[in-house]
Amino acid sequence: MKLPNIKILDEANKKLRVVSKEVNFPLSRADKKNIEDMITYLKMSQIPEYEEKYKLRAGMGLAYIQIGEPKRIFVIVEELEDGSFKDYIIINPKIVSHSEEMIYVGEGEGCLSINREVEGIVPRYARVTISYQDIDGNYSKIRVREDIAIAFQHEIDHLNGILFIDHIDPKNPFKDANKYREI
């Protein structure tokens, strides 16, 4: 596999605070290529051999704004137990429902745009249902749970100009941890 030539914006870049725009169909060839490159990059970041060779930080999701494009597109690459990958290409997403139960990642959320350790909890819904369009513009719905639900909410935040660090109370990073379930 060849490492795609994509540049992920750092948190200091003000573009990450832009609210991304709805996408019109059909997608351009350039958009399809970017989506393909983002998926390849994420897969390579999760394979130890490539992670080491290219000095990558493991990531499972990327929003289009992280490569400097303010379009409502994100991809998630989930490594399955058998070592294969499941790709999600989500365009123009909307959260249509969510659980009452809230969860958080015990070891803390991470982000390919934030190149530092950040302590604190980010409360997220345990389950969310998302309406979206696929790469061909077809409408669909998906219900996700646990770590994938967290990833979806994290990427949707990116589309709205929000970084996960915005959810952490700087004075009390573990505030209300007892109110949520750790995963």
Mean pLDDT of 79-97: 96
In a domain, 125, yes or no: yes
For residue range 127-165, list pLDDT tens digits in order.
Answer: 999 999 999 999 999 999 999 999 999 999 999 999 999
In a domain, 9, yes or no: no
pLDDT value at position 145?
Answer: 97
In a domain, 77, yes or no: yes
Mean pLDDT of 81-90: 96
For the chain, the domain total comes to 1
In a domain, 8, yes or no: no
155 is catalytic: yes
SS (H, E, C) the chain: CCCCCCCCCCCCCHHHHCCCECCCCCCCHHHHHHHHHHHHHHHHHHCHHHHHHCCCCCCCEEEHHHHCCCECEEEEEEECCCCCEEEEEEEEEEEEEECCCEEECCCCCCECCECCCCCCCCCEECEEEEEEECCCCCEEEEEEEHHHHHHHHHHHHHHCCCCHHHHCCCCCCCCCHHHCEEC
| CATH number for position 87 | 3.90.45.10
pLDDT value at position 84?
Answer: 94
In a domain, 40, yes or no: yes
In a domain, 74, yes or no: yes
Catalytic entry in 49, 78, 155, 182 = 155
pLDDT value at position 1?
Answer: 87
Q: State the residue range of the domain holding 173.
A: 14-182
In a domain, 3, yes or no: no
